[in-house]
Chain A
Amino acid sequence: MIRYIAGRLLLILPVLFGVSIVAFMLIRLIPGNPAVAILGERATPELIARVQNQLGLNLPMWRQYLHFLGNAWRGEFGLSFFYGEDASILTLQRIPVTLVLIGYAALIGLIIAVPVATVAAVRRETLVDHIIRLVFTATIGIPSFWLGIVLALLLSVRVRLFALGGAGSGGFDTLWHLTLPALTIALHISPILVRALRSSLIEVMDSEYVTTGLAMGLRPATLLVSYLLRNGLTPFISVLGLNIGWLIGGTIIIEQVFGIPGVGSLLITSILTRDYSIVQFVTLVLAFLVILVNLLTDLAYAALDPRVSFQR
């Protein structure tokens, strides 16, 4: 087990390396450069040339990459061209908000999916099940920003239930501000969660050990906790884990819509303003996050299902 984890962690390095190269090249292949973005409409060729020089953008790409690697090794990830602050500090300051948002969204997603999927699984093939599946299948096609605006209109303006925009000032205020965005993201991913959980619950419910257990007089509550959920959650967790990339992607647009100072909106803004340092650092952080979640998912899978071994 330890060997497995260690092996997986070692694999992170080449992946991060690959990610940094791709990010480095991709952002530089987009026409335009930070000088243009900073100077905006008032940019003139002379000014651009000067700023470019200042920012060291005239060196060949491979040299810039070596610079980047060298600095990264020392823990320095450069200055944001746009904000004039350390890219790593700017990013790390925003990570908590995005993590809270993603976690909150996943939690709300679970809160929605578990009861709904359970009802659908238990009452499968009945009208209730069909209605549930119908509604959630239809929900797949709703664009998230559309949903966000509608929720904001209904739950923040018409009925002043939740705060809109920004991330509040910590603690409960932050949760209050993040409820609408988290709800939007949760609703956006709920169809997949419901579908996966329902089918894995059905599979478990059909299995022989459940019917046997009931015949032997097991109480339904015990059954529910010890067997159904535990075994039903397994494939469900892998679905959740696999979709973490999608979850993060959904967060990006929502952060833009609700004006949340998180990593997602920072990344998009940095791409559009060609803020190379931030793009490079944020992609590394996100990659690390995704890899970590994949690892944790696999571990949780194994913890829940003793049949899974670590032999490849």
Chain B
Amino acid sequence: MSTAAAVVPARPVRRGWLAPAGPSLWVGMIGILTIAVLAALAPLIAPYDPTALALGKGLTPPSAAHWFGTDQLGRDILTRVLYAARIDLQIGTIGVLIPLVMGAVIGLFAGYYAGWPDALLGRVIDVVTAFPFLVLVLAIVAMLGPGLRNFYIAISLVSWVAYARIVRGEALSVRGRGYILAARSLGFGDLRIMFRHLLPNVIVPALVFGMSDFVLDILAGASLGFFGLGVQPPTPEWGVMIAEGRNFIITAPWVVIFPGVAIIVTSFFVSLIGDNVSDLVRRVRAA
């Protein structure tokens, strides 16, 4: 029978479920930065115009002239993937930032004051989460009309709830801690306590969730594209490229493979960052 020594791993592992920061954080950050730079430089480095049709060269497989091949109207896929990066990074960022801010503020208030604001928020959360996310977003987009701006509106209206729930939960458990009570007894105003003392300590799980939400927002864009209600032409967007190219999966798979790989790679890097966010916050604060 083995002793405990066989079970304890050679290196001490920190408690908690976030893996220690190491190469993965840097890989994630460098990866995202690279994608962001490529996206920003798209007009300079893309070989073709993303909306230029080449009607005689529809659906050509990857070749020297077109590294990622062309779609059914002869548009260069590499170019479109590059231009789409700008939209998708934007979708991930704005789609997380707005609900994060909205939800965090609301959750903070509810968690701090507890009582009826918290009960009310609880019911609102229950009602919104009772609907499948996609259905609500779809309905709102159908109501407002498809397009990037309405997509943001729809996502914000639905996503803030998740952040509010997280922040409120953390706030509820932290509000009774010593330093909060101390700040109160010192006579600090509620707002000051909330934003300077409570917020930094409760925001981390929300940020971690934000990382996975980043990916979810891009995938939501793809799902809306499945119904034709995604980002509107001529703006290329990875999710819509996949959704609208799905009829070509069998006959011209490159039309959907490259945007798909783009999404996978981006979400991979973002997830790596998410895994290490708490570490990141600590490093930033120490600096």
Which partner residue on chain B sits nearest A218 by CB separation? B1
Residue from B127, B256, B265 with most neighbouring chain A CB atoms (10 Å): B127
Known contacts A19-B127, A26-B143, A124-B13, A138 near B268 by CB under 8 Å:
yes
Which partner residue on chain A sits nearest B135 by CB separation? A267
Which partner residue on chain A sits nearest B142 by CB separation? A30
Which partner residue on chain A sits nearest B221 by CB separation? A143
Chain A contact-residue range equals 35 or more
B3, B15, B134, B139: the one within 8 Å of A27 (CB): B139
B17, B130, B226: the one within 8 Å of A287 (CB): B130
Complex-state Cα separation, A82 to B265, whole angstroms: 43
Question: Is A174 interfacial (CB-CB < 8 Å)?
Answer: no
Shortest CB-to-CB span from A148 to chain B, Å, is: 10
Q: Are B263 and A141 in contact (CB-based, < 8 A)? A: yes
Q: Are B8 and A283 in contact (CB-based, < 8 A)? A: no
Question: Is B249 interfacial (CB-CB < 8 Å)?
Answer: yes
Question: Is B70 interfacial (CB-CB < 8 Å)?
Answer: no
Complex-state Cα separation, A14 to B258, whole angstroms: 47
Which partner residue on chain B sits nearest A251 by CB separation? B132
Chain B contact-residue range equals 35 or more
The secondary structure that dominates the A interface is helix
Instruction: Name B96-147 residues within 8 Å CB distance of A.
Output: 123-124, 126-127, 129-136, 138-140, 142-143
A137, A199, A246: the one within 8 Å of B268 (CB): A137
Q: Are B140 and A26 in contact (CB-based, < 8 A)? A: yes
Shortest CB-to-CB span from A46 to chain B, Å, is: 26
Shortest CB-to-CB span from B278 to chain A, Å, is: 13
Instruction: Name B1-47 residues within 8 Å CB distance of A.
Output: 1-4, 7-9, 11, 13, 15-18
Mark A189-200 against chain B: 1 for CB-CB distance below 8 A, else 0. Answer: 000100000011
Query: What residues on A are CB-neighbors of B72 within 8 Å?
Result: none
Q: Are A215 and B4 in contact (CB-based, < 8 A)? A: yes
Shortest CB-to-CB span from B217 to chain A, Å, is: 12
Question: Is A75 interfacial (CB-CB < 8 Å)?
Answer: no
Question: Is A271 interfacial (CB-CB < 8 Å)?
Answer: yes
Complex-state Cα separation, A138 to B267, whole angstroms: 7
Binds A, one of B180-188, B239-247, B279-287: B239-247
Q: Are A206 and B131 in contact (CB-based, < 8 A)? A: no
Query: What residues on B are CB-neighbors of A267 within 8 Å?
Result: 132, 135
Query: What residues on B are CB-neighbors of A26 within 8 Å?
Result: 136, 139-140, 143
Which partner residue on chain A sits nearest B138 by CB separation? A271
A15, A29, A145: the one within 8 Å of B126 (CB): A15
Complex-state Cα separation, A193 to B232, whole angstroms: 34
Query: What residues on B are CB-neighbors of A249 within 8 Å?
Result: 132-135
Question: Is B194 interfacial (CB-CB < 8 Å)?
Answer: no
Mark A296-309 against chain B: 1 for CB-CB distance below 8 A, else 0. Answer: 00000000000000
Mark A235-255 against chain B: 1 for CB-CB distance below 8 A, else 0. Answer: 000000000011011001100
Question: Is A290 interfacial (CB-CB < 8 Å)?
Answer: yes
Q: Are B215 and A286 in contact (CB-based, < 8 A)? A: no
Shortest CB-to-CB span from B122 to chain A, Å, is: 9
Question: Is B264 interfacial (CB-CB < 8 Å)?
Answer: yes
Shortest CB-to-CB span from A118 to chain B, Å, is: 14
The 4 A-B residue pairs with the shortest CB-CB distance in the complex, in nearest-first order: A199-B17, A141-B267, A287-B130, A141-B264
A-B contact pairs, 13 of them (CB 8 A): A14-B123, A125-B11, A140-B212, A143-B219, A145-B223, A210-B7, A245-B129, A248-B132, A252-B134, A256-B226, A271-B139, A272-B227, A283-B131
Q: B residues engaging A (CB < 8 A)? A: 1-4, 7-9, 11, 13, 15-18, 123-124, 126-127, 129-136, 138-140, 142-143, 212, 215, 218-219, 222-223, 226-227, 239, 242-243, 246, 249-250, 256, 260, 263-268, 271-272
**Supplied contacts A153-B249, A245-B131, 20 more A-B pairs, CB within 8 Å:** A11-B123, A15-B126, A15-B130, A125-B11, A137-B267, A140-B215, A141-B264, A142-B260, A142-B263, A143-B239, A143-B263, A145-B222, A145-B246, A146-B260, A214-B7, A215-B3, A249-B133, A271-B138, A290-B130, A291-B130
